[in-house]
Amino acid sequence: MSPLEKRLLNEFQHGLPLSSTPFAEVARRLETSEEQVLHLLGTLQSRGYISRVGPVFKARRIGSSTLAAMAVPAGRLEAVANYISSYDEVNHNYERHHRLNLWFVITAPDQERLEQVLAEIEAHSGLPVMSLPLIKSYHIDLGFPLWC
C-alpha cells in the first residue's frame, strides 16, 4: 500500500468532509487531485481493502432496519446471497459457520418497506428469514490505524 493510500485511509475513516464535493476536499487536504483520490478509492476497493465509502447512520435514526439470518443449503448459498445483495436496502450480507449461515442487514425508509423486502426474500428463496431487530444499541468504532 502506498503512503498516499495509507494517509487516505487513516485520515478519512472518520469525518469525511460534509461538502457537495467531499473528494475534492479530501484531495486538497492530501495535496493531490480529486481524480487521484477517486482512482485510489477504486483501486483499494478492487483489491479488497475497502468495501465501500459512505455514511454509517445510527440505527432507528432514519428509517427502519434489522439484522436478518437464514439457514441456506450450501449448494444454494451463493445464489441466495446474490439475490439478497440485489436489493438497495441490503447494506451487506455474509456467510457464517452456523446453522443460520447467511446474515444480512436491511435498512429501509419505513417498517412497511422493510417487511416487504423480507417477504420477497422469503418468497423468492422458499426459506424462512429470521428478523433480529435492534433492542439495545452499542457503539463499536471500526476505524483502525494503518501502521504497515
The model's pLDDT over 77-103, given as tens digits with 9 standing for 90+, comes to 999 999 999 999 998 889 999 999 999
Please say if the pLDDT value at position 148 is more than 60.
Answer: no
Give strand ranges (E) for the chain.
64-70, 90-95, 102-108, 130-132
| Mean pLDDT in residue range 49-63 | 71
According to the model, what pLDDT value does residue 20 have?
93
More confident residue, 131 or 54: 131
**Are 106 and 114 contacting, i.e. CB atoms less than 8 angstroms apart?**
yes
Distance, CA of 126 to CA of 45 (rounded, Å): 33
Q: How far is CA 54 from the centre of its chain?
A: 8
pTM of the model: 0.63
